[in-house]
Structure formats: structure tokens, C-alpha cells
């Protein structure tokens, strides 16, 4: 879709407005030979992870 709009003469800014993607993302897509694939990201732990055992114990106690 992005390449088709560019071939029709649309500017990168116009394509970005139409698709909702950032201009840099559009440019990156157009410069790539194939469709860019999203990368798998590592899951982040919660801020509560160190306290979960304590919290679960307190919940079991009912206090």
C-alpha cells in the first residue's frame, strides 16, 4: 500500500497522514527491499515482581 501510494506521486508526509505511521517509518519501509518485519521483544518484569510472594502470602492470610 505504501509503495503504491508513493508510485502514484504521494509525498512521504501525505502517506504518513493517510496511514497513521510516522514519516520515518514510511521512509524506512520505502528504502527496504522487502517489507520490514517487527522484532520480537523481551518481556519486561513488573515492578511488583520482588513483592509478589509477600503479597500472595498476605492475600492467603486474608489481611
Domains in the chain: boundaries:
1-37
Tell which residue, 22, 27, 20, has the closest CA to residue 6. Answer: 27
Report CA-CA distances (Å) from 61 to 19, 25, 51, 57.
Answer: 52, 51, 16, 6
Predicted TM-score of the model (pTM): 0.53
| Cα 27 from Cα 36, distance rounded (Å) | 11
Position 40 scores a pLDDT of 86
Q: Give mean pLDDT in consecutive 10-residue pieces for the chain, a chain of 63 residues.
A: 91 94 92 78 90 94 79
SS3 17: helix
Amino acid at each position: 500500500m505504501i509503495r503504491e501510494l508513493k508510485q502514484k506521486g504521494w509525498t512521504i508526509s501525505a502517506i504518513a497522514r493517510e496511514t497513521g505511521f510516522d514519516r520515518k517509518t514510511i521512509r524506512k519501509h520505502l528504502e527496504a527491499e522487502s517489507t520490514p518485519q517487527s522484532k520480537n521483544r523481551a518481556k519486561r518484569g513488573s515492578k511488583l515482581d520482588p513483592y509478589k510472594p509477600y503479597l500472595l502470602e498476605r492475600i492467603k492470610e486474608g489481611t
